[in-house]
Amino acid sequence: MTDAKTRIDETVKSKDVVLFMKGTKEMPQCGFSSRVAGVLNFMGIDYSDVNVLEDEGIRQGIKEYSDWPTIPQLYVKGEFVGGCDIITEMTLSGELDTLLEQNGVTYDKAAADKIREANA
C-alpha cells in the first residue's frame, strides 16, 4: 500500500486538478464518475484523470489517502475537495468557481453559469 500511497501523493501534488474515478474522462464507468467528469469537461477544466479500475492498490489507497470511502474524488492543488455530491453542490452554489479562481485554475465561467441556470 505504501507504493500506491506514494504514487497517489505524487499525482495529487504534481497536477493542478486530479479526478480519481471509475473509468476515464472520455469513458466514465459509473454514473457518479460520469457526473463529475461531465461537469469538469463542460466547464473546460484541464484535469488529470486516474482510472481506479486499472489498479486495485490505487482504488483502495485513495480511500485511505483521503479518509473518504467513495469514488470519484476530486483534488485541486493537492487538496481533497470531495466526491460527486459535494462537487455537484459546489457547482450549483458557485463555490467550485470560487475554489478554482482562488487556486488559479482556468475554467469557462459561462459554462458554469449555464449549469446553474439549467438546474435552477
- Cα separation, 56 vs 3, in Å, equals 12
CB 97 within 8 A of CB 109: yes
Grouping H, G, I as helix, E, B as strand and the rest as coil, residue 93 is helix
8-state DSSP, 80: E
84 is in an annotated binding site: no
Q: Which residues are annotated as a binding site?
A: 30
Q: Which residues are annotated as a binding site for [2Fe-2S] cluster?
A: 30
